[in-house]
């Protein structure tokens, strides 16, 4: 079976590639390496079933030929992070909405049998209900969340109008080996990893009692494969860990000193996925506990040894940018 993984050199994408190769698939990775790293796939260098193509999903003409003969597409290429999306919303729209449409068009013209889209739980904003079901009100708080949701809606629309079998997976707080630690505005797990590697204290936002649905990356890759092999079409599923854990608990598992920085407005106090739909419909359930997941990351920590350093100072820059944005909007 031939597959394409857009963003396949990235954190989650490379784990999806791992799973597909394990299943015996032939895999083409399309990645422009803006955040992905070829090193994430170096352990497959001797595989005759993996092909790496440097390409940008915003260029339909260049990506279209690679879809010929492909059965399944896993669309993970996107721009991430909150504050950069506020600073440069046009780039996010071009990548996360128009880029998604171009992937859909390439898949449609090639007669692809299933496309699975990496949607984002950020579409829920600050929800009223925990655990949060797929039927919760959509409340994107910033352009990243909005463009990922618009991408999701584009995927579902192409499925409805053009009968392209599509599934969207709303991912919750993914962490694990190969997670990104570059940039000033990354996810909490990547920030903490960089700080641990460089002997810095963990910068905890607020009092650290806020909780997150930390979901291990191999469970997420399993969800992608399970959805692609199913008869589901035109459906949306949450993908989470089955629990929600405080930032303080994560710090305790990682081990180290911590300092506190001001809470950023617009961030939820909790993320917690209701995964009953994907469990009932696809039989998928998470397997990796947070204790197991963090232990696995620590066992492979040398992978991140060259990561950039986050400090209380540059994390503070992100916080100041956020407050400045809110002030400008008044």
* Non-local CB neighbours of 295 within 8 Å, separated by 6+ positions: 253
Q: Check: CB of residue 124 under 8 Å from CB of residue 132.
A: yes
Residue appearing with tokens 């993984």? 5
The rounded Cα 262 to chain-centroid distance in angstroms is: 25
* Residue position matching structure tokens 């204790």: 291
Sign of CA dihedral 245, 279, 12, 120: negative
Let me know how long the chain is. 330
Helices (H), 55-98: 60-63, 83-87, 89-93
**Tokens standing for 92?**
């996010």
* 227 vs 278: CA distance, rounded Å: 9
Q: Compute the distance between CA of residue 316 and CA of residue 310 in angstroms, rounded to an integer.
A: 10
The residue from 92, 144, 149, 245 that is catalytic is 144
Q: What is the Cα–Cα distance from 258 to 265, expressed in whole angstroms? A: 21
Angle of the 99-110 helix axis to the 143-162 helix axis, nearest 10: 20
Tell which residue, 5, 161, 12, 157, has the closest CA to residue 80. 12
**Which tokens in the block code for residue 88?**
């440069």
- Whether 185 is a known active-site residue: answer no
Pairing of strands 211-212, 72-75: unpaired
Residues facing residue 119 across a β-bridge: 170
The tokens 């696995």 sit on which residue? 296
166: β partners: 115
| Phi, psi dihedral angles at 37 (to 5 degrees) | -130, 130
Give bridge partners of residue 238 from the DSSP assignment: 170
> Could you list the active site residues?
144
């Amino acid at each position: 079976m031939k597959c394409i993984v857009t963003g396949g050199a990235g954190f989650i994408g490379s784990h999806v590639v791992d799973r597909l190769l394990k299943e015996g698939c032939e895999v083409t990775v399309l990645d422009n390496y803006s955040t992905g790293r070829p090193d994430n796939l170096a352990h497959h260098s001797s595989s005759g079933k993996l092909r790496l193509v440097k390409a940008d999903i915003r260029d339909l003409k260049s990506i279209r030929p690679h879809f010929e003969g492909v059965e399944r597409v896993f669309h993970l290429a996107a721009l991430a992070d909150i504050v950069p999306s506020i600073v440069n919303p046009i780039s996010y729209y071009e990548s996360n909405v128009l880029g998604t449409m171009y992937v859909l068009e390439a898949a449609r013209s090639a007669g692809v049998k299933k496309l699975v889209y990496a949607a984002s739980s950020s579409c829920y904003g600050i929800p009223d209900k925990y655990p949060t079901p797929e039927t919760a009100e959509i409340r994107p708080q910033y352009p990243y969340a909005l463009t990922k949701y618009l991408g999701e809606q584009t995927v579902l629309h192409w499925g409805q109008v053009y009968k392209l079998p599509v599934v969207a997976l709303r991912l919750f707080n993914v962490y694990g080996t190969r997670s990104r630690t570059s940039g000033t505005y990354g996810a909490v797990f990547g920030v903490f990893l960089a700080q641990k590697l460089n002997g810095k204290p963990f910068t905890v936002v607020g009092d650290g009692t806020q909780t997150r649905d930390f979901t291990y990356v191999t469970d997420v890759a399993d969800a992608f494969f399970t959805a692609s092999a199913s008869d589901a079409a035109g459906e949306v599923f949450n993908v989470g860990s089955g629990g929600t854990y405080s930032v303080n608990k994560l710090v305790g598992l990682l081990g180290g000193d911590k300092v506190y920085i001001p809470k950023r407005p617009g961030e939820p106090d909790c993320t917690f996925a209701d995964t009953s739909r994907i469990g009932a419909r696809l039989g998928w359930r998470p397997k990796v506990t947070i204790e197991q997941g963090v232990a696995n990351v620590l066992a492979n920590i040398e992978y991140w040894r060259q990561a950039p350093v986050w400090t209380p100072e540059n994390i503070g820059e992100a916080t100041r940018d956020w407050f400045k944005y809110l002030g400008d909007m008044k």
